[in-house]
A = this chain, B = another copy of it.
Amino acid sequence: MCCRNRHSENFFKGAVYGIKILKTIALFSGLSADQLETLSYIAVRKAYKRGEMIFHEGNKGNGIYIVETGRIKVFKLSMDGKEQILHVYGPGHTFGEVPVFQGKNFPASSMALEPAGIIFLPRDRFVKLITSTPALGMNMLADLSRRLRDFTVQIEALSLKEVPARLAAYLLTLSREQNNEARVSLPISKAQLSNLIGTTPETISRMFKKMGDAGLIAVQTRTIEIQDKEGLKELSESGRL
């Protein structure tokens, strides 16, 4: 029927390789082998195709999701179809957890940006585990806190910074995440990037060109060479090209 998930599912069910995978996830850091094994019986593995929806805003929240492979976006849409991306996540990251602890529905939608493997933990079982595993609860609190901090930065950017500053800040963040001061690789298309930092593809193009002309960067399709890191930093703070 219309609601049947098209993506395939399978289970770890105590398998050693499953426990190994779960062990690499920051949320489960500090958990014992027993606890990880319990988790492996709860976990459902799902595979999504590029462009496939993982959940829709307003649908009932049913559990917590973790990216195992690939990349996903969490986003909201306006009534006339404009998209604001809240997060783009890769392996190890959790998402979809707001309704787990607060009830109600998903506050945003999620979609696979490329073929993605997702680990799903059903709500009731996960909440039960958290209650009996204080370390997991503390990790979850840390996770949500990090998310809150990220949102304050995003609100600050959207409200207090102009587009050039937001783009410069994004490139600097990417540079830190990719541990590379000289060159970064865009993990998403420029159109998706424009929806993440709150602008349009045309504006991204114009800003990249201006930043190139100013000697700050050199753009090669999806690879950006950082030529003047200090200049980029200054642009991310003051805003003016």
Interface residues, chain A, with chain B CB atoms under 8 Å away: 76-79, 82, 84, 86, 97-102, 104, 107-108, 127, 130-132, 134, 137-138, 140-142, 144-149, 151-156, 158-161, 198, 237-238
Contacts of A237 in B (CB 8 A): 79
What is the predominant secondary structure among interface residues of chain A facing chain B? Answer: helix
Question: CA separation between A2 and B160, bound complex, in Å?
Answer: 29
Contacts of A145 in B (CB 8 A): 97-102, 144
**Which 7 A-B pairs give the minimum distances between C-beta atoms?**
A102-B145, A78-B160, A101-B141, A151-B151, A144-B144, A84-B159, A101-B145
Known: A144-B145, A152-B108. A160 touches B98 (CB 8 A): no
Asked if B198 and A148 make an inter-chain contact with CB atoms under 8 angstroms apart, the answer reads no
Could you say which of B104, B149, B151, B161 contacts A155, with CB atoms under 8 Å apart?
A: B151
Identity of the chain B residue whose Cβ is nearest the Cβ of A105 in the assembled complex? B149
Known: A84-B159, A155-B84, A156-B84. A141 touches B137 (CB 8 A): yes
Known: A100-B145, A155-B158, A238-B79. A131 touches B134 (CB 8 A): yes
Contacts of A138 in B (CB 8 A): 101, 127, 130-131, 137
A-B contact pairs, 28 of them (CB 8 A): A76-B152, A76-B160, A77-B160, A78-B160, A78-B161, A84-B155, A84-B159, A86-B152, A98-B145, A99-B145, A101-B138, A101-B141, A104-B149, A107-B149, A107-B152, A127-B138, A130-B137, A131-B137, A132-B134, A137-B137, A137-B141, A140-B141, A144-B145, A144-B148, A151-B151, A151-B152, A155-B155, A158-B159
